[in-house]
């Protein structure tokens, strides 16, 4: 490092922090790059180890302050992070904006600086507060800009990420309240409603005035539709277009085992990287994108057989169809000058990682890069940052040590990445030679596509399902394991664990009722609030429900009594029939 600095200037020692001639003054990287694997020429350091409530989306101000949207911190909805001495490490972390959240906490929400204001969102509201130059924590009044005033209950896909265009408009998604417009939701044999009434005020992106307070959905304009769920969204200022990465639907094998096997259900449908134009329709719930064949095909709820295209040729197509269930939760278009020229205007996409790929290893948990070439996004992608999970294969979601989430750029062109398990934040810097950076430096990252958490699994060789020891375990893996995981530990923030939980080992009638009738709305499990919808499983026989609940109550460290078919029948008979 000193030898390179001396070649750039006779000052020598004063340039110990300068990694390229004429480049920005960068702090030293961590010896192990904070555990990350990056292309040759890039280095990283850990800015903060543990943001309270864990870090979701992030943004960075012009003076280098980092603002982090927390998930469920009781200290505040936003954390302000400052490096005072220039060593790249956080010296100050202050929390603010303790707004009341109707859902108790925010699973996915945005934070961004726009026209001197810090905007952030909970599940139901987009707020803003004025930033004062030279002040870390804003002290002004919070303004409500957009509020989701719908009745929600156990509404799925309620995240409120957002983005701004160049004309003062704010874009906010209203996610679909179901997986595929079934009623009841996620139930085998139930067709999708056609036309889907949920598309009237959900399943799309609405445009609002970024400066007008107290807007509800009726004050906005439906900009695009046919979008099940979106968390990753960003405005590309070069082609002046909105881009998103859509979360594909779930449960192909669980709901339609006569059409889809477990392997196809692990891979399908695609997570779609799309350019959103005014009036676009991406086909939810009628269609999904199959990246294996490169086409949109008819959903099984609408008569599809996994091959039939039907009405799906009329809907907008993605730029890239990424593999299924990778959970794209962050996207950022790079506009800095620190990185090599090939990264200019390209998109970094953070894949938070799958939960429902069993019986195959979980996938995702890395950051991809999509180049911007000749005025448009490339259809090719590459691995930019890996090593977050720190294990491969990832058998259960809780095996992953870190899960990348938010992406932002600092004033010097460094890239900042947040993760949700521990609240860690990294700063990624380029310290190599921009003039010689090319395919050679990317070879090692290309090889990482062969790892099990990135490549498509082999149908037989990568099947890690244990041999079933009884009917209860088999039913659990078919219908429960995708959410609660094969080890019963659940997915932090989404699906509760089953081990050592009173909901499992306590009141038998309550537990049976949850399986038969489903559960919507917030519940607290071991001090943590969960708000993901539990679908009803009344299609199972009394004996099947008894078998699976007996299995759950006697495994994962639980030691509770068995459930009988007679107990299930008693609860079923007490349940009002539609």
Same domain, 405 and 521: no
Same domain, 128 and 255: yes
Same domain, 171 and 313: yes
In 352-403, which ranges are E strands?
Answer: 366-370, 372-373, 376-377, 382-385
Query: CA-CA distance, 172 to 230, in Å (whole number)?
Result: 10
Instruction: Tell me whether residue 228 is in a domain.
Output: yes
Instruction: Tell me whether residue 116 is in a domain.
Output: yes
Same domain, 268 and 133: yes
Residue 562: predicted pLDDT: 87
Structural domain that includes position 201? 31-149+156-185+193-450
Residue 7: predicted pLDDT: 34
110-146 pLDDT, tens digit per residue, is 999 999 999 999 889 999 999 998 899 998 999 999 9
Same domain, 514 and 442: no
Number of structural domains in the chain:
3
Same domain, 8 and 53: no
Name the 3-class secondary structure at 276.
strand
Instruction: Tell me whether residue 406 is in a domain.
Output: yes
Same domain, 352 and 395: yes
Instruction: Tell me whether residue 455 is in a domain.
Output: no
Residue 4: predicted pLDDT: 36
- Which helix (H) or strand (E) segment holds residue 96: the answer is strand 92-96
C-alpha distances out from residue 185 to 134, 181, 285, Å: 50, 7, 13
Instruction: Tell me whether residue 39 is in a domain.
Output: yes
Residue 106: predicted pLDDT: 52
Tens digits of pLDDT across the chain (578 residues)? 333 333 333 233 333 333 344 456 899 999 999 999 999 999 999 999 999 878 899 999 999 999 999 886 678 889 999 999 999 999 999 999 987 654 444 556 799 999 999 999 988 999 999 999 889 999 899 999 999 998 765 578 988 999 999 999 999 999 999 999 999 888 888 999 999 999 999 999 999 999 999 999 999 999 999 999 999 999 999 999 999 999 999 999 989 999 999 999 999 999 999 999 999 999 999 999 999 999 999 999 999 999 999 999 999 999 999 999 999 999 999 999 999 999 999 999 999 999 889 889 999 999 999 999 999 999 999 999 999 999 999 998 889 999 999 999 999 999 999 999 999 999 999 999 999 999 999 999 999 999 999 999 999 999 987 776 688 888 888 788 778 888 888 876 678 888 888 888 888 899 988 888 888 777 788 777 777 778 888 888 989 888 888 888 888 888 888 889 899 899 899 876 55
Q: Are 289 and 269 in contact (CB under 8 A)?
A: yes
Write the CB contacts of 282 (distance below 8 Å, at least 6 apart in sequence): 224, 225, 226, 227, 246, 272, 274, 315, 316, 318
Instruction: Tell me whether residue 492 is in a domain.
Output: yes
DSSP state letters, 406-446: EEEE-TTS-EEEEESSS--EEEEEE-S-TTT-SHHHHHHHH
525-548 pLDDT, tens digit per residue, is 877 777 777 888 888 898 988 888
Number of other CB atoms surrounding residue 565 within 10 Å: 14
Q: ∠ CA 219-224-225 to the nearest 5 degrees?
A: 105
Instruction: Tell me whether residue 465 is in a domain.
Output: no
Same domain, 307 and 279: yes
Residue 302: predicted pLDDT: 98
Same domain, 443 and 519: no
With both helix axes pointing from N to C terminus, report the angle between 542-553 and 565-574 in degrees, rounded to the nearest 10.
120
Residue 205: predicted pLDDT: 98
Query: CA-CA distance, 303 to 298, in Å (whole number)?
Result: 7
Residue 577: predicted pLDDT: 57
Query: CA-CA distance, 6 to 130, in Å (whole number)?
Result: 44
Instruction: Tell me whether residue 537 is in a domain.
Output: yes
Same domain, 139 and 16: no
241 DSSP assignment? E
Token pair of 88 as six digits? 């790249």
Handedness of CA 431, 437, 440, 442 (dihedral sign): positive
First-to-final CA distance of the chain? 72
Same domain, 20 and 163: no
Write the CB contacts of 174 (distance below 8 Å, at least 6 apart in sequence): 148, 150, 201, 202, 203, 204, 205, 206, 217
Handedness of CA 468, 470, 473, 475 (dihedral sign): positive
Same domain, 167 and 240: yes
Q: Which residue has the tokens 């078998």?
A: 547
Query: CA-CA distance, 146 to 131, in Å (whole number)?
Result: 19
Residue 358: predicted pLDDT: 87
Residue 3: predicted pLDDT: 34
Tell me the CATH number at 383.
2.120.10.30
Q: Are 554 and 534 in contact (CB under 8 A)?
A: no
């Amino acid at each position: 490092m000193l030898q390179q600095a001396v070649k750039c200037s006779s000052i020598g020692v004063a340039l110990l922090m300068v990694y390229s001639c004429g480049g920005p003054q960068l702090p030293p990287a961590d010896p192990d790059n904070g555990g990350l694997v990056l292309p040759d020429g890039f280095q990283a350091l850990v800015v903060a180890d543990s943001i309270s409530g864990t870090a979701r989306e992030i943004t960075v101000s012009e003076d280098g302050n980092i603002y982090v949207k927390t998930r469920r911190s009781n200290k505040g909805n936003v954390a302000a992070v400052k490096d005072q001495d220039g060593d790249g490490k956080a010296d100050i972390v202050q929390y603010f904006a303790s707004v009341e959240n109707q859902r108790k906490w925010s699973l996915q929400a945005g934070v961004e600086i726009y026209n001197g204001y810090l905007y952030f969102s909970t599940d139901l509201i987009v707020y803003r507060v004025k930033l004062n130059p030279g002040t870390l924590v804003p002290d002004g009044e919070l303004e409500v800009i957009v509020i989701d005033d719908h009745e929600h209950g156990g509404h799925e896909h309620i995240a409120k990420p957002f983005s701004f265009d160049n004309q003062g408009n704010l874009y906010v998604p209203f996610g679909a309240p179901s997986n595929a417009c079934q009623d009841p939701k996620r139930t085998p044999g139930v067709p999708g409603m056609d036309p889907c009434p949920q598309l009237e005020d959900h399943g799309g992106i609405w445009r609002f005035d970024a400066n007008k307070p107290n807007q509800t959905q009726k004050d906005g304009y439906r900009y695009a539709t046919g979008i099940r769920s979106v968390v990753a969204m960003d405005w590309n200022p070069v082609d002046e277009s909105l881009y998103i990465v859509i979360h594909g639907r779930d449960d192909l094998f669980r709901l339609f085992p006569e059409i889809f096997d477990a392997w196809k259900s692990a891979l399908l449908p695609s997570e779609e990287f799309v350019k959103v134009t005014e009036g676009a329709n991406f086909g939810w719930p009628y269609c999904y994108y199959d990246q294996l064949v490169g086409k949109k095909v008819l959903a099984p709820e609408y008569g599809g057989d996994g091959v039939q295209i039907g009405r799906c040729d009329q809907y907008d197509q993605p730029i890239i169809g990424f593999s299924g269930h990778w959970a794209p939760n962050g996207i950022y278009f790079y506009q800095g000058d620190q990185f090599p020229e090939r990264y200019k205007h390209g998109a970094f996409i953070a894949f938070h990682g799958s939960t429902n790929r069993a019986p195959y290893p979980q996938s995702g948990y890395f950051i991809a890069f999509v180049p911007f070439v000749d005025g448009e996004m490339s259809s090719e992608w590459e691995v930019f940052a890996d090593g977050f999970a720190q294990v491969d294969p990832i058998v259960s979601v809780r095996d992953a040590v870190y899960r990348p989430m938010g992406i932002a750029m600092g004033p010097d062109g460094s890239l900042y990445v947040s993760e949700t398990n521990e609240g860690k934040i990294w700063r990624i810097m380029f310290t190599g030679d921009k003039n010689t950076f090319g395919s050679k430096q990317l070879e090692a990252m290309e090889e990482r596509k062969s790892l099990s958490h990135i490549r498509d699994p082999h149908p037989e060789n990568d099947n890690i399902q244990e041999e079933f020891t009884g009917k209860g375990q088999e039913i659990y893996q078919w219908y429960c394991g995708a959410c609660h995981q094969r080890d019963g530990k659940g997915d932090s923030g989404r699906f509760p664990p089953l081990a050592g939980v009173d909901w499992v080992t306590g009141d038998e009638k309550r537990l049976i009722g949850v399986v038969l009738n489903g559960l919507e709305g917030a519940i607290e499990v071991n001090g943590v609030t969960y708000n993901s919808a539990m679908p009803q499983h009344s299609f199972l026989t009394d004996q099947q429900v008894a078998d699976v609940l007996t299995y759950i109550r006697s495994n994962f460290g639980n030691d509770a009594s068995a459930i009988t078919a007679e107990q299930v029948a008693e609860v079923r008979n007490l349940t009002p029939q539609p």
